[in-house]
């Protein structure tokens, strides 16, 4: 290991007094992104990280080459037919980005390239590129597409005439994540952010006009709420969705009449959530009406859509959570979750016959694929497990035939039979059983000598389901056990599971994760000196919290873009997304929440004690977790920790929350993290 000294951030005390309590923040100055001192410090940390990891460069290269060797570098996605065209994307060996294409009537027809991101990247001399909006007009003549070129998630939108391949003069700046076309093929609606990166405005654009002439259709002034757009699959309605974490509201517009006004379905009511779709003169709703924690499916007449007219179609079931639904001309597909596993309910809307799709493995995950067609009897889903590579599957809703259209190739002789997948349960400190999904190579000893990577997230009700990763094989084939901890705060076990890990019960998330780690050690899956914890973003908060609470349990921790300066961030409403997060973490302007947040905020609870080996990442342009959170945390750890173990900060100076955007660059980032993990576990 390099013997160079780690950089130390200057101590410049900044006092903050709230509720009569004064906190001293010695590294508050790191928030100044334009400061030469700040940029110099981040660059010094990057250089130190490079020096400390220099002895692993050969291992990094080996890992990178392994990962590349497993992928089909020149490949093509499973095509999706929409109208007269087959749409797909493809990759080319040596090129970083996808190429988006279509063919007319047949996959044997001549290819039309809609957008080649490699060409955009190279011609623009870019360091970062991410595709946002990608929407073909109803007549499939035009393509609206949006690009982010610095990781800040503020997009530039253009419209391409697909008959000529030329962009129109329409160029819109500062576009957010949503766009929908009206049925006239010349009008679309889009949203923009405010200064805090909250999607707050809906605009109407007519092709050929200037952005400055766009009509402001809706402005959401409540800082708890943001807005997004959708469209019913039958193309009848445009949907304006307004939502906070706890509450939602929907407005609808006849897609044939873009100059008319959106109509409110049901006014927002604190704690009431609903989403809608349309079929044959009925709105179908997924809602938690009347304290239906796991949601129910209801219908209502669009002419009088208020909740007084909502009628049950699928009543609330305490053991089954409804995540959403898709409507087609003759069928309704309901995405459900039971006992921590995703299930799929299919209803024939003519006969009312119901059946559940039978999945081929006991532990798996799936997601809705691209299903643009209204008149179809085939459902496209994406399927995977811890041992089965990502697969595009067509399921016949009537014959119940399961057809794998495309399975992502895993080169190099991969055989799923060489690996074992399990589902086990740890017992939390309050007696709750916490599920874990595991995978490891067959023949691993399970005698406590094996290294183990324990991954967790546990926030926003998001479920981390057991999916596949070909990169992960580089760990599994070196004897690692990979484990997902399905901790409270996530959504794997339903709404109550989520609510048991938020607000004033957030510490359950951290103690659940610790219980999972302890179970793995006690049951011979690993040992404390071979256990590595990994999490990103809100999962990075988890990493910071468990590092403070149980530093001796984990030999090493990888915290990606971690949300660790919880109190300071939640007190500063000028920071992107802060106000909207009050319904996840609580508002520290209220004394009870302030004290609770302060009790677990990783940055505020760093102490003079030994810590695990630590690798921390940040993105300079990250609008979700500001770079200064991990930077301040590392600076404070450097000052207070009493051990000589590695503490590394790697800041992506030209990217945001998602690190590198190119697929090869992303693999190099992964190889770097894996090299750190393998190095520290010997």
Question: What is the token pair recorded at 373?
Answer: 């067609």
Question: In sequence order, what E strands does 255-319 have?
Answer: 263-264, 274-279, 282-287, 296-300, 311-314
Judged against a pLDDT cut of 90, whether residue 311 lies above it is answered with yes
The domains of the chain are located at 14-68+412-680
Beta carbons of 292 and 313 less than 8 angstroms apart: no
Catalytic-residue membership of 537:
yes
At residue 664, the pLDDT reads 97
Confidence of residue 577 (pLDDT cuts 50, 70, 90): confident
Mean per-residue pLDDT, 97-119: 98
Query: Rounded to the nearest 5°, which phi and psi values hold at 593?
Result: -70, -40
DSSP code string of 406-451: EE---TTT--GGGEEEEEEEEE-TTS-EEEEEEEEETT---SS-S-
Q: Whose structure tokens read 């949907």? A: 239
Q: Give the architecture-level CATH label for domain 14-68+412-680.
A: 3-Layer(aba) Sandwich (3.40)
At residue 3, the pLDDT reads 56
- Kindly name the residue from 89, 116, 657, 661 that is annotated as catalytic: 657
CB neighbour list of residue 672: distance below 8 Å, 6 or more residues apart: 53, 60, 650
Strand partners, 356: 345
Mean per-residue pLDDT, 372-396: 98
Judged against a pLDDT cut of 90, whether residue 1 lies above it is answered with no
In order of 286, 288, 292, 338, the CA distances from 320 in angstroms are: 13, 13, 11, 5
pLDDT in tens, 121-148: 999 999 999 999 999 999 999 999 999 9
Question: What is the token pair recorded at 517?
Answer: 């780690």
Mean per-residue pLDDT, 651-667: 94
The whole-angstrom separation of Cα 205 and Cα 159 is 11
In order of 125, 598, 632, the CA distances from 24 in angstroms are: 43, 13, 13
**pTM, entire model:** 0.96
Beta carbons of 29 and 38 less than 8 angstroms apart: yes
Beta carbons of 602 and 548 less than 8 angstroms apart: yes
What radius of gyration, in Å, describes the C-alpha atoms of the chain? 25
Q: Whose structure tokens read 């797909």? A: 88
Mean per-residue pLDDT, 156-176: 98
Mean per-residue pLDDT, 588-596: 98
pLDDT in tens, 537-546: 999 999 999 9
Confidence of residue 4 (pLDDT cuts 50, 70, 90): confident
- Kindly name the residue from 248, 537, 568, 661 that is annotated as catalytic: 537
Query: Rounded to the nearest 5°, which phi and psi values hold at 50?
Result: -60, -40
Mean per-residue pLDDT, 602-606: 98
Mean per-residue pLDDT, 179-189: 98
DSSP code string of 120-165: HHHHTT-S--EEEEEEE-TTSSEEEEEEESSSS--EEEEEEETTTT
At residue 321, the pLDDT reads 98
- Kindly name the residue from 148, 450, 565, 622 that is annotated as catalytic: 622
Mean per-residue pLDDT, 70-74: 98
Beta carbons of 490 and 497 less than 8 angstroms apart: yes
At residue 463, the pLDDT reads 96
H or E, element range at 678? helix 663-680
Beta carbons of 582 and 616 less than 8 angstroms apart: no
pLDDT in tens, 248-281: 999 999 999 999 999 999 999 999 999 999 999 9
Report the candidate in 482, 549, 544 with the shortest Cα–Cα distance to residue 514.
549
At residue 576, the pLDDT reads 85
At residue 603, the pLDDT reads 98
Judged against a pLDDT cut of 80, whether residue 529 lies above it is answered with yes
At residue 436, the pLDDT reads 97
Confidence of residue 618 (pLDDT cuts 50, 70, 90): very high
Mean per-residue pLDDT, 569-588: 95
Beta carbons of 473 and 414 less than 8 angstroms apart: yes
Confidence of residue 412 (pLDDT cuts 50, 70, 90): very high
Of 3-17, 20-34, 162-176, 228-242, the least confident: 3-17
Report the candidate in 631, 456, 608, 603 with the shortest Cα–Cα distance to residue 543.
456
Catalytic-residue membership of 77:
no
Compute the mean pLDDT over every residue in the chain, rounded to the nearest whole number.
Answer: 97
Q: Whose structure tokens read 């190739």? A: 409
Judged against a pLDDT cut of 80, whether residue 483 lies above it is answered with yes
For the chain, the residue count is 682
Give percent of the chain with pLDDT exceeding 70.
100
| H helical segments located in 480-624 | 495-499, 507-522, 538-549, 566-571, 582-585, 591-600
Beta carbons of 393 and 371 less than 8 angstroms apart: no
Q: Whose structure tokens read 């923009």? A: 192
Judged against a pLDDT cut of 50, whether residue 44 lies above it is answered with yes
CB neighbour list of residue 499: distance below 8 Å, 6 or more residues apart: 293, 505
**CA geometry: angle 380, 67, 478, nearest 5 deg:** 110
In order of 154, 169, 466, 627, 629, the CA distances from 623 in angstroms are: 9, 29, 28, 9, 12
Mean per-residue pLDDT, 455-475: 98
Beta-carbon count within 10 A of 124 CB: 11
CB neighbour list of residue 662: distance below 8 Å, 6 or more residues apart: 96, 97, 121, 129
The whole-angstrom separation of Cα 128 and Cα 197 is 19
Query: Rounded to the nearest 5°, which phi and psi values hold at 118?
Result: -65, -40
Query: Rounded to the nearest 5°, which phi and psi values hold at 477?
Result: -75, -10
Give percent of the chain with pLDDT exceeding 90.
98
């Amino acid at each position: 290991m390099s013997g160079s000294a780690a950089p130390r951030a200057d101590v410049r005390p900044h006092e903050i007094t709230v509720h009569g309590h004064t906190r001293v923040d010695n590294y508050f100055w790191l928030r100044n992104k334009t400061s030469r001192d700040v940029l110099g410090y981040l660059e010094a940390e990057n250089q130190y990280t490079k020096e400390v990891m220099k002895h692993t460069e050969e291992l990094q290269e080996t890992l990178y080459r392994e990962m590349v060797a497993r992928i089909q570098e020149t490949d093509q996605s499973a095509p999706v037919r929409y109208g007269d065209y087959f749409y797909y994307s493809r990759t080319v060996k040596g090129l970083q980005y996808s190429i988006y294409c279509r063919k007319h009537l047949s996959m044997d027809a001549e290819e039309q390239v809609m957008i080649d991101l490699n060409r955009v990247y190279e011609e623009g001399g870019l360091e970062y590129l991410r595709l946002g909006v990608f929407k073909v007009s109803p007549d499939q003549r035009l393509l609206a597409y949006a690009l982010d070129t610095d990781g800040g998630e503020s997009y530039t939108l253009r419209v391409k005439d697909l008959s000529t391949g030329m962009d129109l003069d329409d160029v819109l700046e500062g576009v957010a994540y949503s766009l929908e076309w009206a049925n006239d093929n010349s009008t679309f609606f889009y949203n923009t952010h405010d200064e805090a990166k909250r999607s707050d405005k809906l605009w109407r654009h007519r092709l050929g006009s200037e952005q400055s002439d766009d009509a402001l259709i809706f402005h959401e002034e409540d800082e708890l709420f943001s807005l997004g757009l959708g469209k019913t699959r039958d193309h009848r309605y445009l949907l304006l969705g307004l939502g906070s974490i706890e509450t939602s509201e929907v407005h609808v517009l006849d897609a044939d009449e873009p100059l008319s006004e959106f109509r409110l379905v049901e006014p927002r009511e604190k704690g009431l959530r609903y989403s809608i779709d349309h079929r044959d003169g009925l709105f179908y709703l997924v809602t938690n009406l009347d304290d239906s924690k796991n949601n129910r499916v209801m219908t209502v007449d669009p002419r009088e859509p208020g909740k007084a007219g909502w009628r049950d179609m699928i009543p609330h079931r305490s053991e089954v959570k409804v995540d959403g639904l898709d409507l087609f001309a003759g069928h309704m597909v309901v995405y459900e979750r039971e006992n921590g596993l995703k299930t799929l309910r299919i209803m024939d809307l003519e006969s009312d016959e119901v059946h559940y799709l039978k999945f081929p493995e006991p532990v798996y995950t799936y997601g809705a694929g691209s299903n643009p067609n209204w008149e179809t009897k085939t459902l496209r889903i994406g399927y995977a497990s811890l041992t089965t590579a990502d697969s595009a599957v067509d399921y016949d809703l009537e014959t119940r035939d399961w057809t794998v259209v495309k399975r992502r190739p895993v080169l190099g002789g991969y055989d799923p039979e060489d690996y074992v997948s399990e589902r086990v349960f740890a017992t939390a400190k309050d007696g709750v059983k916490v599920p874990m999904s595991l995978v490891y190579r067959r023949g691993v000893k399970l005698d406590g000598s094996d290294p183990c990577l324990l991954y967790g997230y546990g926030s926003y009700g998001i479920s981390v389901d057991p999916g596949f990763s070909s990169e992960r094989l580089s760990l599994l084939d070196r004897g690692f056990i990979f484990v997902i901890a399905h901790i409270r705060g996530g959504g794997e076990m339903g709404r109550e599971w989520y609510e048991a890990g938020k607000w004033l019960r957030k510490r359950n998330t951290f103690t659940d994760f610790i219980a999972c780690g302890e179970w793995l050690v006690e049951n011979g899956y690993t040992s404390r000196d071979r256990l590595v914890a990994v999490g990103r973003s809100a999962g990075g908060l988890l990493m910071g919290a468990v590092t403070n609470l149980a530093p001796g349990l984990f030999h090493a921790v990888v915290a990606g873009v971690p949300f660790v300066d919880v109190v300071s961030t939640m007190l500063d409403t000028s920071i992107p997304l802060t106000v909207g997060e009050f319904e996840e973490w609580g508002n520290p302007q209220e004394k009870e929440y302030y004290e609770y947040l302060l009790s677990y905020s990783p940055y505020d609870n760093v102490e003079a004690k030994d810590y695990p080996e630590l690798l921390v990442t940040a993105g300079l342009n990250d609008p979700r977790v500001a770079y200064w959170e991990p930077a301040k945390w590392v600076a404070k750890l450097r000052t207070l920790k009493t051990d000589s173990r590695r503490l590394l900060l790697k800041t992506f100076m030209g990217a945001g929350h998602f690190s590198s955007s190119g697929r090869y660059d992303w693999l190099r980032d992964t190889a770097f993290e894996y090299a750190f993990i393998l190095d520290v576990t010997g």
